[in-house]
Amino acid sequence: MSPSIPVRQLPHGEGLPLPAYQSDGAAGLDLLAAIPANTTLVIEPGARELVPTGVALELPPGLEAQVRPRSGLALKNGVTVLNAPGTIDSDYRGEIGVILINHGREPFEITRGARVAQLVIARVERVALVVADELSASARGAGGFGSTGASGEVRE
């Protein structure tokens, strides 16, 4: 059974649908722009903007929400979530904001109710870090940043 998560619709989000899955197999709920009606938010090429969504969540401990880009905006317009994925912690109760950046060549216009990002709910595992003098060996070792080949083999 899916967990129920309390959501608060803020005054500037009233009248907009709540975040929702757009298909039976969708992993993310679409987040909508809660900007004033009859206005347009323009993100110039190379610029970034914080887009309000008009919603706040009460996530239970052990869950987080990740703000992720919408692939269509990225492909068609070069617009993406700057800090992807943005993390909403379970103890945060403020409005969900989406930091969008325009990597495209043209200004990007956002109107009220536009789908600007998606919200994926995920389980979180908290860990305890333990100081160690050594770490166990692995085939990869300290190799990183391109140290594995296209088929996964470790390059020396």
| 29-43, 67-81, 92-106, 132-146: least confident range | 132-146
Q: Tell me if 110 is assigned to some domain.
A: yes
| Residue 29 placed within a domain | yes
Q: Is residue 96 part of a domain?
A: yes
The answer to whether residue 99 sits within a structural domain is yes
Reported confidence tier of residue 72, pLDDT bands at 50, 70, 90: very high
3-state SS, one letter per residue, for 76-136:
HHCEEECCCCEEECCCCCCCCEEEEEECCCCCEEEECCCEEEEEEEEECCCCCCCCCCCCC
Q: Give phi and psi for 13, each to the nearest 5.
A: -100, -5
Domain containing 16 equals: 7-123
pLDDT at residue 146, rounded to an integer: 75
In-domain check, residue 150: no
Q: Would you say residue 66 lies in a domain?
A: yes
Question: Residue 95 falls within a domain, yes or no?
Answer: yes
Domain count, the chain: 1
- Domain with residue 25: its CATH number is 2.70.40.10
Span 60-70, average pLDDT: 97
**pLDDT of 104 over the 90 cut:** yes
Residues 98-110: what's their mean pLDDT? Answer: 98
